[in-house]
Structure 1
Amino acid sequence: MAAVNPSIPRPEYPRPQMVRPAWINLNGEWEFEIDHGSSGKQRRLFEAASLAGKITVPFCPESKLSGVENKDFMRAVWYRRTIDIPSDWSGGRVLLHFGAVDYATEVWVNGKSAGTHRGGYSSFSFDITDLLESGANVLTVCAEDDLRSGLQPRGKQSGLYHSHGCDYTRTTGIWQTVWLESVPRQYIRSFKLTPDMENGALHIDGEFIDADGFTLTAEGLFDGKIVGTESAVVSGRQARLTVKLSERHLWEVGSPKLYDLNLSLRNGGSTVDRVESYFGLRSVKWDNNAILINGKPVFQRLVLDQGFYPDGIYTAPSDEDLKRDIKLSMELGFNGARLHEKVFEARFLYWADRLGYLVWGEHANWGLDITTAQGLQQFLPEWTEIVSRDYNSPALVGWCPFNETWDNSKGARQDNEVLRIVYHVTKSLDATRPVIDTSGNFHVVTDIFDVHDYEQNPEKFAQHYEAMRTGGERFVTFKDRQRYEGQPYFVSEYGGIWWNPGQADEKSWGYGDRPKTEEEFLARYEGLTLTLLENPYICAFCYTQLYDVEQEVNGLLTYCREHKFNPDQIRKINATVAAIEKQFANAAK
């Protein structure tokens, strides 16, 4: 792993599945200016000698950790700093990377445009080699953000001035690590890693810059021992190869055996480029009743994770905070999470891979109008970047591009073709994972049928699923808008039990009536959860939610990640052997 500078915020290497040693973290203090009128380009702020204020990157200006803490809408924001390029980087290319910037970004180097990007959640980069000058170079960034336009995904960022209900403080501009990378003139641009558990192999599809005729060599290792190697010649911009593994070690839930991977690009006898990576050998399949991990039904005991932090908003204060959220969830007996209405940073998936924690990838679609084909134009380019970035994660076991695609304020319905096209494009990019077209409603074409059910009375909740226990009719919400067609069945949001004793209630929000005592809360949690675990035709649940977020106080933890309940009590309920797992165990005897 490349070296880090602990004196700057979020100093760790930001792209752990594709590591090179020559990089510079640009987090820390930048010049900063709010551009409420979005007139900065006309005023040519990209040529300005300075900006009016300061900010700490990568924290958004709404956050306390940024040093700005402006909670109002900001139509555009500007960033400026100088960068120095090490002398030993000469002769190669210099790439400027952004983990994420919300929403529409333009970047200038020494007053000249390096490129633009649209999308607040996907990672992007520019080759700035030809714009660099000797000595200090000026880097300027403008981010425009209009989440009330209906033309961009905003997720759970509030469209009103104040946070309210299940919408929270906004994020504008840079919110993930900014960094420089030195690469050779001919280099490995990207690669897809597809594990093949049945054949004990790894399939690799690489993309390259100016490397036609060069050779890609892949070397797989387990515990430092080489267990497979293969080479292929680059044809044009691509190369494809399969590494047959001499030892088979499976990545499994809670037991995540991982291989190391070295990729080398060679020209003749010389190594031109080299990157380090890793992979997990595992399979994901689905049949009429179950989602199978490595051929076995694993009941997915998921929890809703919204990826918000009191001081950093969208950005975790530290890498350890990302890891800690996963460990807290696992300590409560969950084996994974829906990463909800937000695309989490690559470091979160890295820790999920390392800890054996299942995740579902989801876009932040709320706020985007998908009642016409224009929604597809605004959504699809960024979504394809998201799928490509996270494809290699063994922890990621499913995609969910949309969540609760409600009719808009004028009563216009979703354009079903938008969902249908996004589903099919996702499948074309990744045939190895199930895709849920829209979680909860309104399904058009989906591999997994899921519902959201916030009934708080355990007896009434159980009645919804009673017929299913013996293979009868599946409970379907909004029967006039969607229908069950034999897929695995997933209750992907339930619970949301409101619990905030001793706190002010003016803005507090949760689902249904509040339990009067902790004992009543636990009885309700147990009743709802066991209804799902004990049903042989339900393959997964997702409880709302892991921790409180601002005024939404239905977390099992507080917003500051303190336990509200004895974790042993929650873990004991979640650890109940699911009916679908019992069936498999009995059949295997």
Structure 2
Amino acid sequence: MMNVKKMCVVILAILLTSAINIRAQIPRSEHPRPQFERNEWANLNGEWTYTFDFSESGLERGLFNSEGFDAKIVVPFCPESKLSGVGYKDFINNIWYHRKIEIPEGWDGKNIKLNFGAVYYTAEVYIDGKFVLRHFGGSTSFSADITSFVEAGKKHNLVVYAHSDLRSANQGAGKQNLQCKSYGCNYTRTTGIWQTVWLEAIDQKGLQSAQVITDIDQSKIIIHPRFYSESGNNLNITILEKGRKIGKTTVKANNSSIAIIPVKKAKLWSPENPFLYDVVYEVTDEKGQVLDKVQSYLGMRKVHIEGNKIYLNNKPFYHRLVLDQGFYPEGIWTAPSDEDLIEDIKLSMAAGFNGARLHQKVFEERFYYHADRLGYITWGEAASWGMDCNSEITARNFLSEWEDIVVRDRNHPSLLVWTPMNEAWWPDQVQYPRFVTDLYEMAKNLDPTRPVNTVSGGVHIVTDIYTVHDYEQDGKRLKNILYNEKGEFKQTPNHINHGKNMNIGFNGLAHSLQFDFPKYTGGQPYLIDEFGGIKWTVDQQKNKGGSWGYGNAPKTLDELYTRLESQVDAILSLKDQVWGYCYTQLTDVEQEQNGIYFYDRTTKFDMNKIKAIFSKTPETK
């Protein structure tokens, strides 16, 4: 007869195996917020039901009361994607989702948060037919407190309604198609839920957020916590170095509290040594009982600008970036697995890049987590293409979304530069300057620790970094365009529109001549953060216009390597004028076939030759 000890071991093994099997059945089952992780959470990814609502009559038909729709979809993959099980590629203006949720009995007495990584574009949340929350913004995370709508141990109907009006020009589209089919550098759309959905149990007086600033010059960590409810409780913060406690402090659990923790012999985060400290936050009552516990991490590093250079940890840091659009053949905006996020970073580093401009998409937090771990520099960007940047409605929509982006990601050490917009080329003289200035000031107020590249390759109004785009294919000509013999820098195309024939004035008066767009005159970093884009298909000679890229395609691989090296060498030779670059792009994306890798991430070129080119620095060139 089996003794009690052996029986316990067998039962534990069965439970563990069952948990692993359940986890394996859930797509994207890993915790979506590695920098703010609690033990009590439940992943809601997997099979939901859905229905399209092309007539936009769902509210009238009471779809928010649904107990299940006829069709099935796999969350968190968008309905346009193969992995969703739907694969509908045409415009989807309205979609309704449903699934049953059950709150564990052990969560009774706690606040229940329903979290969404991202839903494109406007989301409405209902529990058992009751309206819970509305959220605007297709790229940002949000939460709904559903405590008053649910009971522990009972099942409830969760309904999510997503609406998108991509062609309105009032919302950021990024690289999503504004036409029916993909064309040029615009690709398959993403609608509805496209990042992880999860439940979380939190004490009513728990920790809501923590802004972390690392001061390497004084070897201190500064943390500003925020709580769901202020109280007489304490917040204990512990800093660990590979499991060893190296710092601890206690502050009152109030939003006015600031925790300052000295760190002796601090290990700095850098691409060469991406060291991360573990952080444990614990809210305790007057008896010392832990009410809320959050696991986190941080990297001690500093980024700043002096003159025309960007510095990392007080040393000049030259950016050798690649444009990463974050598209996947089967998942569109959503990586099929956590391993795919890691693989993209490793592929970029294997090609010789030290980081990426995360282009026209807000990447999920786990991408930043892996970049933090692997020592991979990132520039954080928003999905701004498709917007009318002269519209006050657009500004209203985008500013609130931009605020959420900065607040969500500002603690990641790998993120060095903010880039809210890309290639805004048709500005007016009134609303556009106001909009761009607001974006800049918002970023600096929310996060004063990073430089802002306000409009990459577009019309700069106020910016810390001046960036230009140029796809000239000949290296010598590219060099002369960027900085010619007369000592003149290439300017962003701020001459395209000077407000002529536009009613942009106050009380009907034209103000088109009252504002002069600024030009680059030196004194700040100047980068070419888009260049290259050399087209190369599977069979270059047989291609008959089915692909898209920049310039005339080279006839041979040797010609491609020579052209590429001439472009990189030209930029590196301007080290006193141009402080870094971003090559277009990491992978092919659908019909745009100018990546370093194919769309499925398989090898496209001789990677030894590619790495030798992109590993060059101004010193080694």
1:161-172 equivalences in 2 (<5 Å) = 161-172=180-191
Query: Deviation of residue 373 (structure 1)?
Result: 2.5
**Which amino acid is the alignment partner of residue 88 of structure 2?**
N
SS of equivalent to 1:71: coil
Provide the residue aligned with 1:51 in structure 2: 69
Q: Is the 1:399–1:434 contact (alpha carbons within 8 Å) kept by the matching residues of 2? A: yes
1:478 pairs with 2:493: yes
Q: Is the 2:476–2:570 contact (alpha carbons within 8 Å) kept by the matching residues of 1? A: no
Match of 1:326 among 345, 353, 372: 345
Q: Is the 1:102–1:143 contact (alpha carbons within 8 Å) kept by the matching residues of 2? A: yes
Query: Deviation of residue 566 (structure 1)?
Result: 1.0
SS of equivalent to 1:555: coil
Q: Is the 1:164–1:507 contact (alpha carbons within 8 Å) kept by the matching residues of 2? A: no
What is the rounded CA distance, in whole Å, between the counterparts of 1:320 and 1:254 in structure 2?
A: 22
What is the rounded CA distance, in whole Å, between the counterparts of 1:452 and 1:396 in structure 2?
A: 21
How many corresponding residue pairs? 575
What is the rounded CA distance, in whole Å, between the counterparts of 1:50 and 1:5 in structure 2?
A: 23
1:241 pairs with 2:259: yes
Change (3 A) 1:412 1:433: closer
Q: What do you get for the CA RMSD once the two structures are aligned? A: 1.8
Change (3 A) 1:375 1:479: closer
Match of 1:395 among 414, 421, 432: 414
SS of equivalent to 1:415: helix
Q: Is the 1:265–1:274 contact (alpha carbons within 8 Å) kept by the matching residues of 2? A: yes
Change (3 A) 1:575 1:525: same
Query: Deviation of residue 213 (structure 1)?
Result: 2.2
Provide the residue aligned with 2:603 in structure 1: 563
What is the rounded CA distance, in whole Å, between the counterparts of 1:19 and 1:64 in structure 2?
A: 30
Query: Deviation of residue 474 (structure 1)?
Result: 2.3
Query: Deviation of residue 413 (structure 1)?
Result: 8.9
1:8-407 equivalences in 2 (<5 Å) = 8-133=26-151, 134-235=153-254, 237-268=255-286, 269-407=288-426
1:371-450 equivalences in 2 (<5 Å) = 371-407=390-426, 415-450=432-467
Q: Is the 2:41–2:199 contact (alpha carbons within 8 Å) kept by the matching residues of 1? A: yes
1:550 pairs with 2:586: no
Provide the residue aligned with 1:495 in structure 2: 532
Change (3 A) 1:365 1:465: closer
Deviation per CA, 1:523-542: give whole Å up to 9, x if none: 01000011112222221100
Deviation per CA, 1:397-433: give whole Å up to 9, x if none: 010101001328xx99971110011111111111110
Provide the residue aligned with 1:509 in structure 2: 548
Q: Is the 1:94–1:181 contact (alpha carbons within 8 Å) kept by the matching residues of 2? A: yes
Query: Deviation of residue 255 (structure 1)?
Result: 1.9
What is the rounded CA distance, in whole Å, between the counterparts of 1:73 and 1:576 in structure 2?
A: 44
What is the rounded CA distance, in whole Å, between the counterparts of 1:374 and 1:49 in structure 2?
A: 36
Query: Deviation of residue 203 (structure 1)?
Result: 0.6
Q: Is the 1:362–1:402 contact (alpha carbons within 8 Å) kept by the matching residues of 2? A: yes
**Which amino acid is the alignment partner of residue 122 of structure 1?**
T
Unaligned runs of 5+ in 2: 1-18, 496-516
SS of equivalent to 2:195: coil
Query: Deviation of residue 48 (structure 1)?
Result: 2.2
What is the rounded CA distance, in whole Å, between the counterparts of 1:250 and 1:137 in structure 2?
A: 47
What is the rounded CA distance, in whole Å, between the counterparts of 1:415 and 1:558 in structure 2?
A: 38
Query: Deviation of residue 233 (structure 1)?
Result: 1.1
What is the rounded CA distance, in whole Å, between the counterparts of 2:305 and 2:175 in structure 1?
A: 30
Query: Deviation of residue 50 (structure 1)?
Result: 2.3
What is the rounded CA distance, in whole Å, between the counterparts of 2:193 and 2:393 in structure 1?
A: 26
Provide the residue aligned with 2:3 in structure 1: none
Q: Is the 1:10–1:317 contact (alpha carbons within 8 Å) kept by the matching residues of 2? A: yes
What is the rounded CA distance, in whole Å, between the counterparts of 2:257 and 2:56 in structure 1?
A: 44
**Which amino acid is the alignment partner of residue 500 of structure 1?**
T
Q: Is the 2:268–2:300 contact (alpha carbons within 8 Å) kept by the matching residues of 1? A: yes
Deviation per CA, 1:484-542: give whole Å up to 9, x if none: 14211111000001111416444311111100000010001000011112222221100
Q: Is the 2:459–2:494 contact (alpha carbons within 8 Å) kept by the matching residues of 1? A: no
What is the rounded CA distance, in whole Å, between the counterparts of 1:559 and 1:372 in structure 2?
A: 35
Query: Deviation of residue 438 (structure 1)?
Result: 0.3
Q: Is the 1:62–1:172 contact (alpha carbons within 8 Å) kept by the matching residues of 2? A: yes
**Which amino acid is the alignment partner of residue 457 of structure 1?**
D
What is the rounded CA distance, in whole Å, between the counterparts of 1:562 and 1:18 in structure 2?
A: 34
Q: Is the 1:208–1:238 contact (alpha carbons within 8 Å) kept by the matching residues of 2? A: no
1:524 pairs with 2:524: no
Match of 2:581 among 531, 541, 547: 541
**Which amino acid is the alignment partner of residue 449 of structure 2?**
T
Deviation per CA, 1:249-270: give whole Å up to 9, x if none: 0101132011000111112122
**Which amino acid is the alignment partner of residue 490 of structure 2?**
F
Moved more, 300-309 or 191-200: 191-200
Q: Is the 2:425–2:494 contact (alpha carbons within 8 Å) kept by the matching residues of 1? A: no
What is the rounded CA distance, in whole Å, between the counterparts of 1:49 and 1:273 in structure 2?
A: 34
What is the rounded CA distance, in whole Å, between the counterparts of 1:249 and 1:242 in structure 2?
A: 17
**Which amino acid is the alignment partner of residue 552 of structure 1?**
E
Query: Deviation of residue 200 (structure 1)?
Result: 1.1
**Which amino acid is the alignment partner of residue 21 of structure 1?**
N
Q: Is the 2:67–2:157 contact (alpha carbons within 8 Å) kept by the matching residues of 1? A: no
What is the rounded CA distance, in whole Å, between the counterparts of 1:103 and 1:479 in structure 2?
A: 30
What is the rounded CA distance, in whole Å, between the counterparts of 2:231 and 2:265 in structure 1?
A: 32
**Which amino acid is the alignment partner of residue 150 of structure 2?**
L
What is the rounded CA distance, in whole Å, between the counterparts of 1:151 and 1:66 in structure 2?
A: 27
Query: Deviation of residue 375 (structure 1)?
Result: 2.2
> Structure 1 residue runs of 4+, over 4 Å off?
411-414
Q: Is the 2:274–2:373 contact (alpha carbons within 8 Å) kept by the matching residues of 1? A: yes
Q: Is the 1:494–1:543 contact (alpha carbons within 8 Å) kept by the matching residues of 2? A: yes
Q: Is the 1:529–1:573 contact (alpha carbons within 8 Å) kept by the matching residues of 2? A: yes
SS of equivalent to 1:59: coil
Query: Deviation of residue 33 (structure 1)?
Result: 0.5
SS of equivalent to 1:220: strand
TM-score w.r.t. the length of structure 1 is 0.95
Unaligned runs of 5+ in 1: 583-589
SS of equivalent to 2:348: helix
Deviation per CA, 1:459-496: give whole Å up to 9, x if none: 2112124548xx93322243645401421111100000
Query: Deviation of residue 228 (structure 1)?
Result: 0.9
**Whose radius of gyration is greater, 1 or 2?**
2
Q: Is the 2:471–2:550 contact (alpha carbons within 8 Å) kept by the matching residues of 1? A: yes
Q: Is the 1:406–1:414 contact (alpha carbons within 8 Å) kept by the matching residues of 2? A: no
Deviation per CA, 1:50-98: give whole Å up to 9, x if none: 2121000000000000000000111100100101111111111110000
**Which amino acid is the alignment partner of residue 397 of structure 1?**
L
SS of equivalent to 2:54: coil
Query: Deviation of residue 325 (structure 1)?
Result: 0.1
**Which amino acid is the alignment partner of residue 458 of structure 1?**
G
